[in-house]
Structure 1
Amino acid sequence: MYTLKELIKITRKQLALDYNCDITDFVKKGNTITTNDLLNDRRIYSHDGCLLKILCYRGIAIITTDKELIPWVKEKLKDEDASWLFEYPKLRLIDRKLNDFGHEIADIHHYYIPDAKAQFITPLFDIKWYEHQDIHQFKNDDRFNEALAFEETHPDMLAVAAFDGDQIMGMAGASADSKTMWQIGIDVLPEYRGKGVGANLTALLKQEILKRGKVPFYGTVESHDISKNIAFRAGFLPAWAEVHSQKMES
């Protein structure tokens, strides 16, 4: 298992690859502006290479963008307090500037890493584990769209399901979003919600990922209180937030 210090070190190293910055940028004062060079071993998603993406981490921001936008970013965002950078008035300002280039804000997520002091969790239900080669059977099962990604750039590596007899109650899955960090997603069937299924499966999967020498992380959006509560109850701590852009549809 990792200490919190080790978890933070691995997380910073990965985010530095994702945002083309130096790991020391996470401990210096002030925000950092970088160009969106695509580094090996970065996390690769559908917005890879987007015009603008911003990482807020412990009161600082890493702003990665195209060279054309850098003068504006320096003027408007460089000296902003990163803790408040994702307030709506600032996001509206950013979105309007992106519109000038035919782009817009696409998504805002915040992310969690394990609490190294979290209590060890045991199963509350009958469970079954699925390794990478076993997960394909769920490819066309839309009950588990959050738990399983089926993406080549971040393949599903491990999943765990809770059962009520022969009926799956819920499933947590982990995708290898990078060599060191696996992202957890969770789905609980409507009739089994509110029974602790999501938190228990997420915690079990988190523990198993840590045993395998990877760092699990969990992402959600600000308005999803149920998802945030699952993260906290499963032994996760808030770690960083991200926003990224996309090209506007014509």
Structure 2
Amino acid sequence: MYFCFLRENIVASVKDEYREIVTEYVNRFEFYHCFETPNIHWLDGRLAKKGHGVYMMSEYYLPDVNKFQPLSCDYELRILEPSDFADLYKPEWSNALCKDRKESDVLGVGAYDNGKLVGLAGCSADCDMMW
């Protein structure tokens, strides 16, 4: 069973056995510091006691949408829905779709070059609270 936690710009989808740790973690730090060191070491230390740990850390920033400039695209873009994914559960698209959790794949955008899919971005509904 998974638990989805929502708080000020944080969405955490975790197994129930880690609910207490993750809830304490995201409530302990300001949301914009939750995924920075040394704070992430706090989480890593508690996960280590359960035989797990932080594997990789990345930083993500929300862009200033007022500074966006539309760009041209040489590819045809198509909105894809679950019924369009059937033939796309292949290794080359595993970063966008999850074969083991097909029911979570809900939306995608495909970039096509002369009818051939050359790029794919996918969205997953990872927790019930999203809806």
Query: TM-score under structure 1 normalisation?
Result: 0.35
How has the CA–CA distance of structure 1 residues 121 and 111 changed in structure 2, closer, same or farther, with 3 Å as cutoff?
A: same
Offset from partner CA, 1:74-117 (integer Å, 9 cap, x none): xxxx5x66654544344335433443x33333355666778775
1:18 and 2:4 correspond? yes
Given residue 48 of structure 1, which amino acid in structure 2 is its aligned partner?
K
How far is the alpha carbon of 1:142 from its aligned partner?
Answer: 0.9
How far is the alpha carbon of 1:135 from its aligned partner?
Answer: 0.9
Pick from 121, 133, 149 the counterpart of residue 98 of structure 2: 149
How has the CA–CA distance of structure 1 residues 167 and 147 changed in structure 2, closer, same or farther, with 3 Å as cutoff?
A: same
Partners of 1:175 and 1:104 in 2: how far apart?
Answer: 24
Contact 2:4 2:129 in 1 (8 A): no
Root-mean-square deviation (Å): 4.2
Query: TM-score under structure 2 normalisation?
Result: 0.58
Aligned to 1:53: 22
Aligned to 1:163: 112
Contact 2:79 2:109 in 1 (8 A): yes
Offset from partner CA, 1:205-227 (integer Å, 9 cap, x none): xxxxxxxxx8xxxxxxxxxxxxx
Matched-pair identity in %: 20
Aligned to 2:52: 104
Figure out how many residues of one structure are paired with residues of the other and give that number.
122
Aligned to 1:174: 123
Richer in strand (by share): 1
How far is the alpha carbon of 1:136 from its aligned partner?
Answer: 1.4
Segments of structure 2 that go 5 or more residues without pairing to the other structure are none
How far is the alpha carbon of 1:163 from its aligned partner?
Answer: 1.8
Whose relative contact order is higher, 1 or 2, with alpha carbons under 8 Å and at least 6 apart?
A: 1
Segments of structure 1 that go 5 or more residues without pairing to the other structure are 1-16, 27-41, 63-77, 182-213, 215-250
Could you say what secondary structure the match of 2:124 adopts?
strand
Aligned to 1:95: 44
Partners of 2:128 and 2:47 in 1: how far apart?
Answer: 32
